[in-house]
Amino acid sequence: MSPRWPRRARRRTRTRRVILLVAAVILLALLVGGLTQVARQSQAYDADSNRTLAAQGAVLADQSNATSRTVRTLLEDLPTMARQSLQAALDGAVRQTAAESQQAGVATGNTPAGSPGSELTTVFSERAQSMEDLRGALDGLLGMVPSAVTGAPASRTVPLPGPAASLSASEAANRITAAGALLSRSDALYGSVRRTLATSAGHARLPGSVWVTDPRVWQAGSVAALVDQVATSPTLEPSHYVVLRTVRLTPPVLPPVSGAPAGVAVLSPTTQVGVTAVLADQGAATEPVVRTTFSLAPQASGATVTKTETTALGLGGSVTLPTVLFAVAPGKSYVLTVQIVLPPGQVLTDGTVYQPTLRVSPAT
Q: Does residue 327 register a pLDDT over 70? A: yes
Q: What is the domain class of 242-360 according to CATH? A: mainly beta
The confidence score (pLDDT) of residue 158 equals: 35
The confidence score (pLDDT) of residue 105 equals: 86
What angle, rounded to 10 degrees, do the helices at 169-199 and 4-77 form? 140
Amino acid at 85: S
The confidence score (pLDDT) of residue 266 equals: 93
Closest CA to 320 of 290, 345, 347: 290
User: What are the tens digits of pLDDT across the range 244-271?
Assistant: 999 999 999 998 877 767 778 999 999 9
Q: How many Å apart are CA 99 and CA 91, to the nearest integer?
A: 12
Q: Does residue 329 register a pLDDT over 60? A: yes
The confidence score (pLDDT) of residue 314 equals: 85
User: What are the tens digits of pLDDT across the range 159-169?
Assistant: 344 445 689 99
Amino acid at 42: S
Q: Does residue 39 register a pLDDT over 50? A: no
The confidence score (pLDDT) of residue 28 equals: 65
Q: What is the mean pLDDT of residues 151-156?
A: 34
The answer to which of 4-13, 216-225, 327-336 has the lowest mean pLDDT is 4-13
In terms of average pLDDT, the best of 111-120, 122-131, 195-204 is 122-131
User: What are the tens digits of pLDDT across the range 55-100?
Assistant: 888 999 999 999 999 999 999 999 999 888 898 899 999 999 999 9
The confidence score (pLDDT) of residue 256 equals: 81
The confidence score (pLDDT) of residue 202 equals: 76
The confidence score (pLDDT) of residue 131 equals: 97
Q: What is the mean pLDDT of residues 144-173?
A: 60
Looking only at the bridges linking them, the beta strands covering 242-250 and 287-298 are: unpaired
CB–CB of 79/138 below 8 Å?
A: no
Q: What is the mean pLDDT of residues 109-125?
A: 83
Report residue 283's pLDDT band, with 50, 70 and 90 as the boundaries. confident
Of the two residues 12 and 303, the one the predictor is more confident about is: 303
Q: How many Å apart are CA 239 and CA 143, to the nearest integer?
A: 12
Report residue 112's pLDDT band, with 50, 70 and 90 as the boundaries. low
CA distances from 8 to 3, 14, 50, 198 (A): 9, 10, 62, 64
The confidence score (pLDDT) of residue 286 equals: 85
What angle, rounded to 10 degrees, do the helices at 169-199 and 220-231 form? 130
List the beta bridge partners of residue 307. 294
Closest CA to 81 of 242, 191, 230: 230
Q: Does residue 9 register a pLDDT over 70? A: no
Q: Per-domain residue ranges for the chain?
A: 34-236, 242-360
Instruction: Please state the three-class secondary structure of the chain as a single string.
Output: CCCHHHHHHHHHHHHHHHHHHHHHHHHHHHHHHHHHHHHHHHHHHHHHHHHHHHHHHHHHHHHHHHHHHHHHHHHHHHHHCCHHHHHHHHHHHHHHHHHHHHHHHHHHCCCCCCCHHHHHHHHHHHHHHHHHHHHHHHHHHHCCCCCCCCCCCCCCCCCCCCCCCCCCHHHHHHHHHHHHHHHHHHHHHHHHHHHHHHHCCCCCCCCCCCCCCCHHHHCHHHHHHHHHHHHCCHHHCCCCCEEEEEEEEECCCCCCCCCCCCCEEEECCCCEEEEEEEEEECCCCCEEEEEEEEEEEECCCCCCEEEEEEEEECCCCEEECCCEEEECCCCCEEEEEEEEECCCCCCCCCCCEECCEEEECCCC
Amino acid at 132: E
Report residue 358's pLDDT band, with 50, 70 and 90 as the boundaries. very high
88 exposed, middle or buried (CB, 10 Å; 0-12, 13-18, 19+)?
Answer: middle
User: What are the tens digits of pLDDT across the range 20-32?
Assistant: 776 666 666 666 5
Report residue 4's pLDDT band, with 50, 70 and 90 as the boundaries. low
User: What are the tens digits of pLDDT across the range 124-142?
Assistant: 999 999 999 999 999 999 9
Report residue 153's pLDDT band, with 50, 70 and 90 as the boundaries. very low
Q: How many Å apart are CA 167 and CA 175, to the nearest integer?
A: 10
Of the two residues 341 and 164, the one the predictor is more confident about is: 341
In whole numbers, what is the pLDDT of the chain averaged over residues? 85
The confidence score (pLDDT) of residue 54 equals: 87
Q: How many Å apart are CA 296 and CA 298, to the nearest integer?
A: 7
